[in-house]
Amino acid sequence: MDLRLYHNSHEFYYRSSFGAVPSGSRLILRLRASDAGNCRARIRLWQSNVGESFVPMSYEDGIFTGIVTIPPKGCLFWYYFIIDDGHRTFYYGNNYDRLGGEGAKYPDVPPAYQVTVYDKDAHTPDWFKHAIVYQIFPDRFRHGIHTSGRLYGKKGAVIHSDWDDVPYYCKREGQGDIVYYDFFGGNIAGIREKLPYLKELGITAIYLNPIFESSSNHRYGTADYFRVDPMLGTNEE
């Protein structure tokens, strides 16, 4: 039997809600199946810190349909489809690149689709809804006088002596991984120096890229969420 399957997480027909879904709601998932015969299908779910569960799917006119009850609190969960024809088991999940959208049929456990659940009772601060936000990448914004009185370095860092240098990643030859990160020395003191300028622009909120201790210049590889990177300044600042 040539079982052809199709699901697309970016199309509302196959996934009734695109993007994050509110807690306590429901999500309709559909899987098109040609030549399904006497196949049965179910949705395998996996929720963080909870584990797995299964949702049965009904079948009509070439379409399997399942209704997923969304957890009552914000979380992440994942899903893929399991199809059984009585002799063999097939799986349908996310594509090989794990980008969502059209998936693929697999002979064994596939990469899953992710669903983000947000707390429907969450409240965004009213002041932020009307804010004019300026995003800052601290290392590249401005170098001010550091609280230590000097340019603060770190192990494995390449520090530019000229603010107008071209950014450069030192990569391991033939492998592509970064050996040294380059830094220009932007810091919290520099941001404070430019507050009058930002106020003149009409900025009412500042969004900072990560500022915590890290070996990288973008600081997304955080090592300590409770300590501001010493190159940027101090917790007190």
CA distance 14 to 113: 12
Going from N- to C-terminal start, the domains of the chain cover 4-118, 126-228
Task: State both tokens at 164.
Answer: 């107008």
pLDDT at residue 65 is higher than 70:
yes
pLDDT of residue 149: 67
pLDDT at residue 35 is higher than 80:
no
15-19, 111-115, 152-156, 172-176 — most confident range: 111-115
Average pLDDT over residues 99-105: 95
pLDDT at residue 170 is higher than 60:
yes
Report the run of H or E that residue 74 belongs to, with start and end.
none
Burial profile 183-214: b = 16 or more Cβ within 10 angstroms, e = fewer = bbbbbbbbbeebeeebeeeeeeeeeeebbbbb
How much is the mean pLDDT over the chain? 92
**Strand runs labelled E in 113-168:** 113-118, 133-136, 157-159
- Per the model's pLDDT, the better-predicted residue between 44 and 154 turns out to be 44
Q: Of the given ranges (3-7, 49-53, 84-88, 132-136), which has the lowest mean pLDDT?
A: 84-88
Instruction: Report residue 26's pLDDT band, with 50, 70 and 90 as the boundaries.
Output: very high
Backbone angles phi, psi at 190, to 5 degrees: -65, -40
Task: State both tokens at 98.
Answer: 């794990």
Task: State both tokens at 222.
Answer: 């955080």
Q: Which fold has domain 4-118?
A: Immunoglobulin-like (2.60.40)
Angle at CA of residue 96, ends 93 and 101, nearest 5°: 60
